[in-house]
Structure 1
Amino acid sequence: MARTFSIHALIILLILLQLSSYFNTCSATTKSHLSHHRNKEYIKNSCSATTYPKLCYKSLAHHASKIQGNPKLLAHAALNATFFAAKATSRLLRDMSTFHGLRRNEAAAMIDCVEDVSDAVQKLQKSTKEMDRTEGSDHLRVQMNDIQMWVNTALEEEETCMNALANKAIKHRVKNGVRRRIIKVAHLTSNALALVKSFALAEKNSP
């Protein structure tokens, strides 16, 4: 009789342990989903203050778990996304500038764009690296001013390239293939600049 009772007690104990494990797993999963949702909402709200909020959210949403509602990590992620997009576009421009089917004025415009976007890539890379060094820095205000200046210069370089490609003498096959990419990079840069400014302002006003 006692042995039967022990077996029943053991079975009940095992069931309770399994239920406890199940509910703990469910609780952890629910918390993870809620946290991920909050992180995405933070990005969405932050992006609403940029000029191109939909592009901003689309480019940063998949970094939500890394950003975790941190304005510095948000600005850093935006700079990174912009840098890699600009780098890829710069590579495309270099390839297209050597295309033998281009007319002289088209080739000249492409070469100018290559220089402009290459300069923009360098400025964005400097900005990203400098953002890495802002943690606990005594010169944060100077660093943030430098970052904003570099990102703003990158945006100006991209706009110069767009203006060159807007020339009516350039065929649509060139403009349509490249200008859309430049515009996207410029929009990403504009968004990154807005998020960098937001972070700088938050740091300035922090006690």
Structure 2
Amino acid sequence: MSEYSARSTSTMMGKLSHIRGMRPREIGAMQDCVEELSDSVDQLSRSMKEMNEIKGSNFGMIMSDVQTWVSAAMTDEDTCMEGFAGKVMNGKVKTAVREKIVNVAHLTSNALALINSYAALHN
């Protein structure tokens, strides 16, 4: 779910970055955010694929990788939001982006919590 949300948010932001009347800083922040979300999607996708490869002998190594990738996805999402900090950004654009990124970040955070709980069960 987190991967899907990040992917759809990235697509939406790519479209938003072409709206007329946006200032260069807004366009730059949108483009940076699309790149960060793309990285996030890649990390979440890789995590899901690796979770399917877990066997008894490789559990610890794979879980460590998955935890790292999902944490990195959260960092990417936070970095995206940083581009919209301050009063320079348009209120409507900032609000729309913030709402979407906060949703993606919550889903990713929930995914990490579930992954951490799963890993703890096997320690």
Query: What pairs up with 1:22-171 in 2 under 5 angstroms?
Result: 81-134=1-54, 136-171=55-90
Equivalent in the alignment of 2:107 = 188
Letter in 1 for 2:45: Q
C-alpha RMSD of matched pairs (Å): 1.0
| Distance apart, 1:191 and its partner CA | 0.9
Change (3 A) 1:108 1:199: same
Residue segments in structure 1 that go unaligned for 5+ positions in a row: 1-80
Shift of 1:100: 2.7
Give the unaligned 5+ runs of structure 2.
Answer: none
| SS of alignment partner, residue 189 of structure 1 | helix
SS of equivalent residue, structure 1 residue 187: helix
Quick one: distance in 2 between partners of 1:84 and 1:101?
A: 29
Number of aligned residue pairs: give it: 123
Counterpart-to-counterpart distance in 2, 1:118 and 1:168 = 26
Greater RCO, 1 or 2 (C-alpha within 8 Å, sep 6+): 2
Displacement of 1:144: 0.2
CA distance in 1, matches of 2:113, 2:95: 27
**What amino acid does structure 2 have at the position aligned with 1:97?**
S
User: Which has more radius of gyration?
Assistant: 1
Runs of 4 or more, structure 1, over 6 Å off, are none
Shift of 1:112: 0.9
Identical aligned residues as a percent: 41
Distance 1:91 1:203 in 2: 37
Q: Secondary structure at the match of 2:122?
A: helix
